[in-house]
Amino acid sequence: MAKLYFYYASMNAGKSTNLLQADFNYRERGMNTMLFTAGIDDRFAHGTITSRIGLSATATPFDANTDLLACALDRHRTQALACVLVDEAQFLSAAQVDGLARLADAHGIPVLAYGLRTDFRGQLFEGSARLLALSDSLVEIKSVCTCGRKASMNLRVDAAGHAIAEGQQTEIGGNDRYVALCRRHFNEALGR
């Protein structure tokens, strides 16, 4: 039976690198995969999953209106899919996650979703919340705070490096906008 997996972590933990390694493993064995990434992520080339260590692969960009289930089944009809991999899964809607669960349950195609669990305020993203509820397997990818403890929170910072506690949930950025911290240092940075 195919499963829905959710690999989650704070920023800069290697989620995209892990996804690209999984994709490589499938393709090296002659199996077809389909990759999705959030169309909103404009840090690198549109429709590309890129890791900080320089690995990249072309992916189908998704937004709130993309029917990932239909896209995957269309591809599966012409090229049998062994796996579907989703980067930036926190940006999925609950309905899109439900579709990915159906892809695994009704069509026997494993889905590996990679993303953040929480935003810069410590609140769950819609896609992450639904993945936490539905996934057959939850895997935390570890990252490290500056103090050496596990980093589980994503602190948003301004250009001067000061913590930001208010604003839109989604703001694309990398090391220039976010710092992965343990809960204690996250709360201290926000004056809590």
**Burial class of residue 140 (count of CB atoms within 10 Å of its CB; 0-12, 13-18, 19+):** middle
Q: Is 65 annotated as a binding residue?
A: no
Q: Is 10 annotated as a binding residue?
A: yes
Q: Running DSSP on this structure, what letter comes out for residue 40?
A: T
Q: Is 13 annotated as a binding residue?
A: yes
Helix-strand-coil split of the chain, %, nearest 5? 30, 30, 40
Q: Is 90 annotated as a binding residue?
A: yes
With both helix axes pointing from N to C terminus, report the angle between 94-107 and 126-134 in degrees, rounded to the nearest 10. 30
Is residue 72 within 8 A of residue 103, CB to CB? The reply is yes
Q: Is 145 annotated as a binding residue?
A: yes
Is residue 154 within 8 A of residue 178, CB to CB? The reply is yes
Q: Is 11 annotated as a binding residue?
A: yes
Q: Is 83 annotated as a binding residue?
A: no
Residues annotated as catalytic are: 88
Binding residues for Zn(2+): 145, 147, 182, 185
Annotated binding site: 9-16, 87-90, 145, 147, 178, 182, 185
Binding-site residues for substrate: 178
